[in-house]
Structure 1
Amino acid sequence: MTTETGGAIVRAMAEGDRTALARAFDRYAPTLTRYAWALVDDRQDVEEVVQDSFLTLWQRSSTLELPAETVLPWLLVVCRNHAFNAGRKRSRHRADELPETLAAPDDHTEAAEQLRWVRAEIAALPDLDRRICELCLLEGHSYAEAADLLGLTVGAITQRVSRNRRRLKKVVMHDGH
């Protein structure tokens, strides 16, 4: 039985240690596989979700800040997100199989208008909140990267992103945009 923590494995990955990824896979793949089966019902999707979760871990290892020395809670959230995306892909695939009258329109004008509107709402935020949303939500920076760029703690970034997501969602849901 190994005593190496998940945090130590992630730090080794951040240094480029590919065997650390293998150790993480050996330790956490069975749990993630069981969890993925609870979220998706196709073997190929389960395998893809688990593989994508570990790929995300590898890609994010250098910026990942774990609140404890375990990576499992983070992996479970990533797994859930990948499972959700797999479900959306499957839904889009089914939409492609629908008769032409029921398929989604090819015109992306409405989507572009919604994106313009969301960007306008973000632009109206106070300067610090606007910059945080731009970095994390639009440019894809991690919370740790945004914290470094702005001289804040990861906790402050997390709190502000969460608050602004709720605000934007509330405005979207109640404003009919």
Structure 2
Amino acid sequence: MDLAQTDEQLWRAVVRGDGVAFAAIFDRHGDRVWRHAWRLMQHRQDTEDVVAAAFAEAWRRRAHVRIVDESVLPWLLVTTTNCARNARRSLRRNERLIAHIPLGPDAPDAADVAADRFERFDAGSAVAQAMRELSDTDARLVSLVMLEDVPLADAARAIGIGYGAAKTRIHRARQRLRGRLEAAGAAEEVSA
């Protein structure tokens, strides 16, 4: 496999089922996808699960992956954001289920155990919490533009929205994030 090939060239081989080309894409972008997933999950095992899910989704939907400026990275980052959101929803569902399981008299309260797990999961970053409050489209856009430094026009194409809509959405998302982070900072100062 020629490492000088562009993502677009490699991806054409992936679409034909070439696992070596897919491995080259993973080698090229796996670390960046992992860092992005880490920012969203803040837990090693959850991050690894999200990265695996994102690349599994890339392989599964390989014929439908959108290449932006000869790179598959924007699509991978958006998919990673979606997988992280799905993983968090799954964690919350499991915690709610566990909280309702009856236990023996000397067992710890399941609600406390679930709350402890969620607190550890949630304590990673005020940014991650603020990101969870954005719409799916806004979270994808913020992830690409603000966390991954993808140009706004490229991010808009990767997500499938127009540049004007992306410009409006990123402006509003920044305002919401700023307000949420300022409120979180004030809450931390009050509790300190």
TM range (shorter): 0.5 to 0.7
Aligned-partner Cα distance in 2 for 1:34–1:63: 24
Give % identity: 36
Structure 2: runs of 5 or more not aligned:
102-110, 112-156, 166-192
Q: TM-score, normalised by structure 1?
A: 0.54
What is the CA distance between 1:66 and its match in structure 2? 1.9
Alignment RMSD (CA, Å): 2.7
CA offsets 1:41-75 (integer angstroms, 9 cap, x no match) = 22111111111111111112223242421010110
1:18 aligns with 2:29: no
Superposition pairs of residues 47-58 of structure 1, within 5 angstroms: 47-58=48-59
Other-structure match for 2:7:
6
Task: Compute the TM-score of the two structures, normalised by the length of structure 2.
Answer: 0.50
What is the identity, as a one-letter code, of the residue corresponding to 1:70? S
> Which of 81-90 and 64-73 deviates more?
64-73
1:113 counterpart residue number: none
Count of residues in correspondence between the two structures: 107
Does the 8 Å CA contact 2:11/2:21 hold for their aligned counterparts? yes
Task: Tell me how far apart the structure 2 counterparts of residues 5 and 34 of structure 1 sit (CA, whole Å).
Answer: 22
Q: Which runs of structure 2 are paired with 1:63-142 in the superposition (5 Å)?
A: 63-99=64-100
Q: 1:69, 1:90 → 2: CA distance? A: 35
CA distance, structure 2, for counterparts of residue 80 and residue 3 of structure 1:
28
Runs of 4+ deviating beyond 4 Å: none
